[in-house]
Amino acid sequence: QVQLVESGGGLVQAGDSLRLSCAASGRTFSSRTMGWFRQAPGKEREFVACIRWSDDNTYYADSVKGRFTISRDKSKNTVYLQMNTLKPEETAVYYCAAAERYYYATRPSQYNYWGQGTQVTVSS
């Protein structure tokens, strides 16, 4: 089992920045990819970014490229999502997830473990 705990969400204004953190514990060695997703009310869960545990290779949704950065601290088993120039339409609950089988994963079904989510609200 892998436990994931997100933090860092909050209320910001459009154009502001925010950094989310995801602390992993348990069988973290079994995870091959860590990802961030978001889900707005009434919408499906949407892929944001992922990072490969073995070599820090990253991949982003087109909508966040150039503004968001996913990174990790091996010593802390923590993954971060730096979000810059936030937009009101990016208001959502942001989830951290861990995939055991895939080195590259953009679909929620590819992930085995999920955090409880952290709310990000961007006001206009």
Show Cβ contacts of residue 63 under 8 Å, excluding neighbours closer than 6 positions: none
> Which percentage of the chain shows pLDDT scores above 70?
100
**CB burial readout 74-113, b (16+ within 10 A) else e:** eeebbbbbebeebeeebbbbbbbbbbeebeebbebebbbb
Over the stretch 5-55, which tens digit does the pLDDT of each residue have? 999 999 999 999 999 999 999 887 777 899 999 999 999 999 999 999 888
117 and 63 Cβ atoms separated by less than 8 Å? no
90 and 38 Cβ atoms separated by less than 8 Å? yes
In this prediction, residue 30 carries a pLDDT of: 73
Over the stretch 54-87, which tens digit does the pLDDT of each residue have? 889 999 999 999 999 999 998 999 999 999 999 9
Question: What is the DSSP code string of 68-106?
Answer: EEEEEEGGGTEEEEEE-S--GGG-EEEEEEEESS-SS--
Res. 116: pLDDT tops 80 = yes
